[in-house]
Structure 1
Amino acid sequence: MAATSKGPVAQALSSRWAKPAVFALGLLPLGWMVWLGLSGGLGAEPVAEAVRQSGLWALRLLLVALAVTPLRILTGQAGLARFRRMIGLFAFFYALLHVSVYVGVDQFFDWAAVWKDIVKRPYITVGMGAFVILTALATTSTNGMVRRLGGRRWKALHKAVFVAGAAGCIHYVMLVKGWQYPPFVYAAILLGLVALRYTKSPAAGRLSPSYRT
């Protein structure tokens, strides 16, 4: 019997054009922010809006990266795993942009003022904690670091991505003024992804070795 050919989705995911396409998609938020900046679309406080937008995209892409494995399991599309690292690195890129705009443009590299904010403003303390974790994960995301750390230690370290996600959501909740639902939507999505990650159903038990952070 002839081997069954791949379906169209699997073929698209394994295509040589798939990664460049995902890379281009990852740059779209940056292009949009640049366009807003050049066209005056960032509003009356453009620096604050740039900080906000870059932080939101960091959190969104982090959640997308965390959703890759559950989607792979639920859909049976193993090719989705090819994009997890790239999406995670884009989340770090926007987090780095978020911090860089805050430190370099908002605070003009006044490190004393930055440190004062970190110490005295809890939402910045939590946000910087998330950024430190993402930095550690990004710098150890290469195949060489996986070999150097060993698979078990590398996996244990990269489970901290859930801590980074939680800190990012808490940072967002603490940042907004008054009752606003969007931060809680992000937090609910994260909780759902964590629940999927640690579900102990028989089906999840059979699939659990395939999970990767």
Structure 2
Amino acid sequence: MIDRINRFMRQVPTWPLYVAAVIPPVWYFYAGVTGQLGVDPVKSMEHKIGLLGLQVLIASLCVTPLRRYAGLNLLKFRRALGLIGFFYIFLHLLVWVVLDVQIFSQIISDIYKRPYITIGMGAFVLMIPLAATSYNAAIRKLGRNWRKLHKLVYPAVLLGGVHFVMLRKGWQIEPLLYLAAVVALLLLRVPVRQKITRWMSRESA
């Protein structure tokens, strides 16, 4: 069954993902303009697009564990998911800057004074070099360093999860579940041999 799925997925192009990625933000903008996003459409649009970005980035983190533990090979879609996630986070930031705060001095002040914004901005900054080098020429030029550079996605998504938890204020279930999912997916990337070695060293200490 997995082999059939893998064979089928090898024939599926990645470009439909990019086309489909444009639909949600366009819909949110339309819904906001037509009064379908409640009393504060800007905030609602900002949060929905940001959450969508986090969801897509979490989906990109699922690719390796699915291949390692289930044999499902979706590696060809990982770059697209990463770029789409960055696109949504960029739009999330753009809505905050252009439609929400608008005043440049206030934007700078919020980045320095509000920890959840500082953390969110840190996550975005970590993603910039990833998006900037996600094309074939950069991959060839960077060689093995490309893989090392793109490990920045791990702290970026983790900071994104923390940003979501802090944004909601208080210990709400939904953002905690997202953060737990990120942590679990990162832990799954630790090789099993290393886990066993560390456990045995603790037991013998």
Paired residue for 2:134? 141
Give CA-to-partner distance per residue, 1:46-94, whole Å, 9 cap, x none. 111111011101111111011111112223233x111000000000000
Separation in 2, partners of 1:162, 1:201: 20
Amino acid at match of 1:123: Y
Superposed CA RMSD in Å reads: 2.0
Paired residue for 2:202? none
Paired residue for 1:63? 58
What are the within-5 Å matches in structure 2 for residues 1-213 of structure 1?
7-15=3-11, 17-78=12-73, 80-108=74-102, 110-151=103-144, 153-201=145-193
Give the Å deviation of 1:23.
Answer: 3.0
CA 1:28 to 1:68, structure 2 compared with 1: closer, same or farther past 3 Å?
A: farther
Amino acid at match of 1:126: I
Q: What TM-score, normalized to structure 2?
A: 0.86
Separation in 2, partners of 1:35, 1:11: 38
Aligned residues: 194
Moved more, 161-170 or 35-44: 35-44
Residue pair 1:26, 1:87 contacting (<8 A) in 2 also: no
CA 1:176 to 1:194, structure 2 compared with 1: closer, same or farther past 3 Å?
A: same
Gaps of 5+ in 2: 197-205
Structure 1 stretches of at least 4 aligned residues deviating more than 4 Å after TM superposition: none
Give CA-to-partner distance per residue, 1:130-180, whole Å, 9 cap, x none. 0001111100111211222231x2221111111001110111111113331
Q: What TM-score, normalized to structure 1?
A: 0.83
Percent identity at matched positions? 39
Gaps of 5+ in 1: 1-5, 205-213
